[in-house]
Amino acid sequence: MPQGESMPHAKMHMHLFRVNVARGSDTLPDLLARISSTRVEDRSRSAFGTNYRAEIVDDRGDAWVLNFVKFRDSHGPGKVSRRTPLEGFDLGTGDYFGEDSAALFFPQRRYMVLQYNHSGPRHSAIAEYLSAFRTDRTNTYSLDVKLDVNTERVFRRRRTSVRTFEVGIDMTGMTAADRGALTSLGEASTFAHNLNGNRLELVVSIGPGRRGQSLSDRAKDFLSDLLSGPQKDAVYKARAAIKRSDDSPTEVIDLIDQKLTSTQLVVVGPGLRLSLADRVNALRVASTRWATVMGN
């Protein structure tokens, strides 16, 4: 790099998730210890039809440092410059493109801070990978996204009523099992899929002229379940029109845009990659900002 030219930086986005472990499952630290003792070449598992692997599984005491890899076996990136046309990489037999997402798991708090990588492992795939890792027993884990603290508090408080909500689901991001898991929308989602529909939108409202009335509190549960269930990555819209009290004005909250998010600039290193050390440092900074949310 020419003298005086600064290193390029990229924005790294991070989200916070609550780790839930189903009754009878291994504790997540026990499972991670098992993965760590397994040879890297034996760690791959299928999640939603794609192979994933926990490549870095390192117990640092207060937190586990993790790096999950997605095997990309379809059309991938190429190499290009301002002077040369795009060309493919020379991959050998058995080589794949790989996308990765780093994470910090805090076992005492049961929270995970996860790097967002649109093309890489997402939280639902990571939960599926962890659940599928052991083939000799049934483990079930889920990662529930944390909303902005104020948004979650307002949405969940007892006196907050929901007058209208609208949700949108990207059908291309769902499997048949996902559609089956949508008990409330199962028939509609299957119908849309059978029509070759790519998106399904639903609006539920009390309608005009019904002042002082609101939807059942089950509306809150429905939206929460939709954002934490197996189809959560396919939800592209989730808005609710709420009233904090009978006399307050109606306000709209966006449950997608209000995810708890931290963004940090990270140096772009060799190979146009962000080093694991720099990504872990960014995750540490985010976890410090969210210490109160995580209960510390």
Quote the strand ranges of 196-234, DSSP E: 199-205
**Higher per-residue pLDDT: 248 or 161:** 161
The torsion region of residue 209 among left (phi > 0), alpha (psi -120 to 50) and beta comes to: left
Chain segment 34-50, per-residue pLDDT in tens: 999 999 999 999 998 89
**Higher per-residue pLDDT: 66 or 154:** 66
What per-residue confidence (pLDDT) applies to 83? 93
CA nearest to 167, candidates 81, 112, 71, 231: 231
pLDDT at 3 over 60: no
In terms of Cβ atoms closer than 10 Å to its own Cβ (0-12, 13-18, 19+), residue 202 is: middle
pLDDT at 212 over 70: no
Q: For residue 249, give both structure tokens.
A: 């004005």
Residues above pLDDT 70, as percent of the chain? 88
Q: Which residues of 38-71 are buried (b: 16+ CB within 10 A; e: fewer)?
A: eeeeebebebbeeebbbbbbeeeeebbbbbbbbe
Q: Find which of 37-46, 182-191, 208-217 is predicted with most confidence, using mean pLDDT.
A: 37-46
Q: How many CB atoms lie within 10 A of CB 115?
A: 25
**Higher per-residue pLDDT: 144 or 232:** 144
pTM of the model: 0.70
Q: pLDDT band for position 6 (50/70/90)?
A: low
**Higher per-residue pLDDT: 171 or 98:** 98
Q: pLDDT band for position 181 (50/70/90)?
A: low
Q: What is the CA radius of gyration of the chain?
A: 21
Cα–Cα distance measured from residue 248 to residue 146, given in angstroms and rounded to the nearest whole number:
26
Q: For residue 271, give both structure tokens.
A: 């190979």
What per-residue confidence (pLDDT) applies to 183? 53
Chain segment 282-291, per-residue pLDDT in tens: 999 999 999 9
Q: For residue 204, give both structure tokens.
A: 């539920």
Give yes or no for a contact between 129 and 45, defined as CB atoms under 8 angstroms apart: yes
The 251-254 sheet, strands edge to edge: 199-205, 161-170, 235-243, 251-254
CA nearest to 43, candidates 63, 22, 21, 71: 71
Average pLDDT, the chain: 84
Cα–Cα distance measured from residue 162 to residue 204, given in angstroms and rounded to the nearest whole number:
10
